[in-house]
Each structure stands twice: as C-alpha cells, then as structure tokens.
Amino acid sequence: MINTKDRNFRIGAGSTLVMLLIILIGLIWTPYDPNAMNASEKMAAPGLRHPLGTDNFGRDIFSRVVQGAGATFLIALCSVAIGLLVGLLVGGLTGYYGGWIDEILMRLNDSITAFPSLLLALVLIAVFHTGKYNIILALGIIFIPTFARIVRMEVARQKSLDYVANAKLMGVKSMRILFVHIMPNILPVLLSTVAIGFNNAVLAEASMSYLGLGVQPPDPSLGRMLNEAQAYLSRAPWYALSVGLAIILLVLGFGLLSEGLGGEDRA
C-alpha cells in the first residue's frame, strides 16, 4: 500500500499543476477574448467553435472560465502573500522576543480568529467596499493571524534548539538569527499552511463574489461567473457546472497538497 500522504501529495500536486498550466496559458492566450461580445452567437451550445458554448452576450464560456480561474487564483495568491509576509514578520518577532507584546498580540490574534473567516471578510468588505483589490486586502488581513500563530509557535520552538544557541554564542545579531538561521527551518511547516490558505482563499473569493461583494462585472472570477451562470442552469448547465468544477478542482488540489505536506485538516 502506498503511503496515503504521498499519494495525496501526488494527486494534489498533479491537479494543481494542470490547473496552473491552464491558468498560465490563459494569461497569455485564450481561444477568444473573454470579454468580447458577439450578438450573432448568443447562448451557443458547446461545439467545435466554442468548447463550452457561449453566454448571453455571445462571449466564449471556455475562455471566461479559464480567465475566471486565473483571476481567482491571482486573488488567492496575493492575499496569501499578504498574510504570509505580515504573519512572518509579526509571528517571527513575537515568537523570538516573547514578552508582553507577544502576550497582547496573541490575545488579539485569538479574538480575531473568533470570527468565522467569512464573517470577518464581510466586515472588512463593509469597511473597504467591494472590488477586486479590496477583496485581496480583506482576505490577506484574515490570513495574518493564522500565519502569525504558526510562525510564532515554530520560532519559539526553534529558538531553544542548539543551533540558535550556538549562533548566539558566536555573536550573530538577533535579526540575522531570526531571518537567516531560523526562517529556512520553518519553511516546510509553512508550506502546508500556505496550501490551506490557498484552499480557503479560493473558497472565500468564490463566496464573496457570488454574493456580489467581491469582483465586479465584467471582470470574470469563478464566484462572479457562478452567479451569472445560475440564470442559465437549464439552458446551459455546462456553464455553471464547468465553473463549479473549476472551483472544486482548485480546492481539492490545494487540500490534497496541504495534507500531503503534512498539515492538519483545518487551518
């Protein structure tokens, strides 16, 4: 029997890579301009000209799904990056130095994580208003506490290890110890958190845009398009289904990836 973690990792990495490849190609080339309208080809069924048919404006659905997945992925990427960078900084410093700042920040952290992430995203969207960049910012902020907590825990653990003590004895400056010596050692743990972050970001973006509080039309994003596709569920079920499948594939891929990397089920 193959190791489950290994198998999960392989499947997760495989499906994520395939999605990524399609998304990357989509950035440079899609069969049609995803926003180009064509009055003579409205609501076309899937066929040779349009693999997934066209929508009510005659736009090519396949191109839109690819671009929408790209937009969703990009939003996930940026928001995870924000969470990771700030989390590293806050978690690293508090974990390394400890003390009352650590205590206060961790208490704050706890009370922020008391909000379900979707609720927090809604509150932040109320503060920032809707839009692509605001959703990145909102999701990024939501991810900070998770990353900060994990980084802090790991840094605190590494701090007591011999190599850190040795470095201190050799007179290496604290900042250098923290960022040059310790950080590389916590990367493996972080990777699986990053994968879960992606997983959550994709779901959150899709939910918010579905509610109309995220990406605004005509920009595609998976959530926004699912909202649009709902109107054509009986005439063009492939529209909603392909968007839904794209979301499922992204979430599934990142989920398996994070499990394969040894993470827990929940962030």
Partner 1 sequence: MKKRFLALVLAVLMTAALCACGGGKSPAAQPTDTPNGSAGEKALGGEITVGIAADLDTSLDPHVSSSSAGTREVLFNIYEGLLKPDTDGNLIPAIAEDYTVNETADTYTYKLRDGVRFHNGKTVTVGDVVYSLTRAAGLETGEPLVAELKGIASVEAPDDKTVVVKLKAPDAEFNAYMYASIIPEGSDPAAEAVGTGPFRFVSRTPQDNVVLEKFADYWGEGAILDKVTLKVIPDGQTMVMSLRSGAIDMAERLSSSQIADLNELTILEGSSNIIQALYLNNDFEPFRDIRVRQALCYAIDKHAVIDLAADGHGIPVGSSMISSMGKYVVPELVDYYKPDVEKAKALLKEAGYEKLSFSITVPSSMPAHVDAAQVIVEQLRAAGIDASINLVEWATWYDETYKGRKFEATVVGMDTHSLAASGCLARFQSENSKNFINFSNADYDETYLKALATVDEAEQTALFKQCETILTEQAANVYIQDAASFVAMQKDVGGYQFYPALYIMDLSTMYRVK
Partner 2 sequence: MQYVVKKTGVLIATLLLVSLFAFLAFEIIPGDPTTMLLGSDYTPERAEALRESMGLNRNVFARYLSWLAAFLRGDMGTSYSYAMPVHEVLRGKLGVTAVLSVMSWVLVTALSLPLGVALVRYQNKPFGKIGVSVNQILMAVPPFFLGILLTYLFGLLLKAFTPGKFIPFEESVPRCLGYLFFPALAISIPKAAKTVKLLRNAILSEMKRDYVLTAYSHGNSRWMVIKHHVFRNALLPVVTYLAMSLADIVASSIIVEQVFVVPGLGRLLVASISNRDYPVALCIVVMIASVVVVMNYLADILTQTIDPRVRLS
Give the total of residues touching partner 1 (CB under 8 A): 33
Nearest to 153 by CA among 192, 199, 106: 106
Are 255 and 199 spatial neighbours (Cβ–Cβ below 8 Å)?
Answer: yes
Residue from 25, 104, 180, 241 touching partner 1 (CB under 8 A): that is: 241
Between 30 and 258, name the residue whose CB sits nearer to partner 2.
Answer: 258
Residue from 28, 48, 100, 111 touching partner 2 (CB under 8 A): that is: 111
Sites for partner 1 among residues 244-263 (CB under 8 A): 245, 248-249
Sites for partner 1 among residues 24-83 (CB under 8 A): 35-37, 39, 42-43, 45, 56-58
- Rounded CA-CA distance 147/130 in Å is 25
Pick the piece of the chain touching partner 1 (CB under 8 A) from 66-74, 158-166, 186-194, 242-250: 242-250
* Nearest distance from C-beta of residue 175 to partner 2, angstroms: 31
Between 56 and 113, name the residue whose CB sits nearer to partner 1.
Answer: 56
Give the total of residues touching partner 2 (CB under 8 A): 39
Sites for partner 2 among residues 141-160 (CB under 8 A): none
- Rounded CA-CA distance 243/66 in Å is 9
Residue from 123, 165, 180, 187 touching partner 2 (CB under 8 A): that is: 123
Query: Which positions lie near partner 1, rule CB under 8 A?
Result: 11, 15, 35-37, 39, 42-43, 45, 56-58, 130-131, 212, 216-219, 227, 230-238, 241, 245, 248-249
Applying CB under 8 A, which residues contact partner 2?
Answer: 107-108, 110-112, 114-119, 122-127, 203, 206-207, 210-213, 226, 230, 233-234, 240, 244, 247-249, 251-252, 255-256, 265-266
